Amino acid sequence: MDDFKVQQVKDFLTYLDTIKGMSPRTIKGYKSDLNMFFKFLLCNRKNPTDIEQITDNFISNIQLQDLHNFIKYLEVERGNGANARSRKISSLKSFFEYLQRMGRIENNPTINLEMPEIKKENPTYLTLKQCQKLLKSISGDFKERDYCIITLFLNCGLRISELCNIDIDDIQDDILTITGKGNKQRSIPLNDMCIKSLKNYLKVRSKDLNKIKDKDALFLSKNYTRISTSGVSNAIKKHMKKARLNPNKYTPHKLRHTAATLMLKYGNVDIRSIQEILGHESVSTTQIYTHVDDDMLRKATSSNPLNVEV
C-alpha cells in the first residue's frame, strides 16, 4: 500500500484515525478498498491519469455507473461474495460522504448505490460441552496464559484486538475496563473463573519481570512483548486442534459469538445487557445472537401456562 498516493484518501484515513478513533486494522481495510477502486478506475479509462494527479474534479466526475462497473468487477473478476462486496461499498459510501461533508465534491455518487442482498445466517458458536472440552485440552509452555485468554473470550465476549490491548491497570478488583471501537470504554464485571485464571497467569508472568519489555501489557508473547492478534489466533488454533475442534470454523471471533450465545441461553440475561458487555453501538447488531435452538423452543412452548387441559 506504500505506493498509494491519492491525497483525498490520505486525508480521509487521517480523519478516521484522529477524529473517529478507528483501529489500525479497520483503517487498513478502508485503505485497501479505496486503493483497489481507484486503480480499477484508472485501468479502465481511455486516457489514464497518474494516480498522484487525481484531483477533486476527477473524483467529482465519478458516476454511479463507474461504481456499478467496479462492483461487477469485484464479483466476476475477483470472485468477491456478497459480504466482501458489501464491505467495499461501505468504504466507498463513507469516503464520498466525507468528501461531500468537507465541501470537496458537490454530489455524492454513492447515494443510490445499493448493497447486495446478504443471506442472514446464525452465528457459529461452540456448545457448552465443546467449550469445556477446549478448556480441558489446554497445555504446553503457555498453558496459564492461553487458559486465561480463552476464559476471557468465552466469558466476556471480547474482540481479539480488545484482548491484545488489555493493560494490567485495566483490571481493578473484579472490573475489566475495555477500550473498544472508536476508543469507547466499557466496564465488564469478571466472574470467578476469569479472576481465578487471571491470578494463575499473573503468578507465572511475575516470574520473568526483568525480561518483560512491554511492562503494561497483560498478555505477553514468547519474546516478552505485547501479544499480537496473530499470536492469539495461532494459540487458539493450536488448542482447537488438540480438542479436535475445527480451527478454521472456530476462530477467535467465534469465541465472542459463543460468549454471547451462552449468556443468553443459560444466564437469563436480557439483550441490552449483552449489548453493553459486547460493546455494540446498536442493539440491532446484538440481536443476531438471539437465535435459539430446538430445545429452547420446546422449553418456551412447554412453559406456556395454557399447556394444560381445561
Q: Taking the CA of residue 189 as centre, how many other CA atoms within 13 Å lie in the half-sphere pointing to its CB?
A: 4
Q: What is the pLDDT of residues 136-167, one digit of tens each?
A: 999 999 999 999 999 999 988 898 999 999 99
The more confidently predicted of residues 116 and 120 is: 116
User: Residue 135 pLDDT > 80, yes or no?
Assistant: yes
Show the cell assigned to 66.
463507474
Q: What is the mean pLDDT of the chain?
A: 85
Count the helix, strand and coil residues of the chain and give each as a percent rounded to the nearest 5: 60, 5, 35
CB atoms within 10 A of CB 254: 19
User: Residues with catalytic annotation?
Assistant: 159, 181, 253, 256, 280, 289
The end-to-end CA distance of the chain, in Å, is 72
The CA distances from residue 182 to 11, 151, 230, in Å, are 18, 25, 22
DSSP secondary structure string, 226-261?
Answer: BPPHHHHHHHHHHHHHHTT--TTTS-HHHHHHHHHH
pLDDT attached to residue 25 = 81
- The beta strands (E) that lie in the chain are given as 171-172, 175-179, 185-189
Beta bridge partners of 220: 226
Contact yes or no for 226/219 (Cβ under 8 A): yes
User: Residue 88 pLDDT > 50, yes or no?
Assistant: yes
Contact yes or no for 149/254 (Cβ under 8 A): no
Largest CA distance in the chain: 82
Looking at residues 215-241, what average pLDDT do you find? Answer: 95
Q: Look at phi and psi of residue 23 and say left if phi exceeds 0, alpha if psi is from -120 to 50, else beta.
A: beta
Name the DSSP class of 167.
Answer: B
What phi, psi does 212 have (nearest 5°)? -70, 125
Contact yes or no for 166/178 (Cβ under 8 A): yes
Q: Which amino acid is at 76?
A: V
pLDDT attached to residue 1 = 37
pLDDT attached to residue 289 = 62
User: Residue 253 pLDDT > 80, yes or no?
Assistant: yes
Looking at residues 276-287, what average pLDDT do you find? Answer: 70
The more confidently predicted of residues 268 and 253 is: 253
The more confidently predicted of residues 60 and 297 is: 60
The 3-state secondary structure of 174-215, one letter per residue: CEEEEECHHHCEEEEECCHHHHHHHHHHHHHHHHHHHHCCCC
